[in-house]
C-alpha cells in the first residue's frame, strides 16, 4: 500500500467523522450560521443582506442534508434492531396491533 492510498484512506475516514459530527450538531451549526450572517450583515450595513441570507440558507440546507446519528449522545447505547418476525408495536412474533 502506497502513501497515496494511505492518505486517501485517512481523508475518507476524516470526512466521514466530520459528516457524522456535523449531522449530530445541526442545531448548534445553524445557530452559528445565523450569528455569522447577522455579523456580516451588520459589517456591510445591510448592503448585501439578500446575498448573505441566501448563502446562510443554502449552508443550513447543506448541513441538514448531512448524515449522522439522530438524537444520540456520544457513548450512549442505541436500540438494537427488532428480531425478524417481530413488530415494533407489540414485540410478538408475527402479530400486529389492530
| 42 lies in some domain | yes
The strand pairing partners of 86, in sequence order, are: 93
Residue 37: inside a domain: yes
CB-side exposure of 2: number of CA atoms within 13 Å?
A: 1
pLDDT the model gives residue 82: 54
For residue 18, give its domain range: 12-65
Classified as helix, coil or strand, 25 is: coil
Model confidence pTM above 0.85: no
Residue 83 belongs to a domain: no
6-59: pLDDT as tens digits: 888 888 888 888 888 777 788 888 899 999 999 999 999 999 999 999 999 999
- Helices within the chain (DSSP H only): 3-24, 26-43, 49-65
Number of domains in the chain: 1
Q: Which three cell numbers stand for residue 35?
A: 450569528
What tens digit of pLDDT does each residue of 63-90 get? 888 765 454 334 444 444 555 555 545 4
Between CA 36 and CA 59 the distance in angstroms is 12
Amino acid at each position: 500500500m502506497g502513501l497515496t492510498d494511505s492518505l486517501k484512506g485517512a481523508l475518507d475516514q476524516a470526512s466521514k467523522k466530520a459528516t457524522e459530527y456535523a449531522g449530530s450538531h445541526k442545531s448548534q451549526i445553524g445557530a452559528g450560521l445565523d450569528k455569522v450572517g447577522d455579523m456580516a450583515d451588520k459589517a456591510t450595513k445591510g448592503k448585501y443582506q439578500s446575498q448573505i441570507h441566501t448563502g446562510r440558507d443554502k449552508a443550513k440546507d447543506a448541513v441538514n442534508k448531512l448524515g449522522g446519528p439522530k438524537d444520540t449522545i456520544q457513548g450512549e447505547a442505541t436500540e438494537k434492531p427488532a428480531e425478524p418476525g417481530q413488530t415494533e408495536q407489540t414485540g410478538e412474533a408475527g402479530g400486529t396491533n389492530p
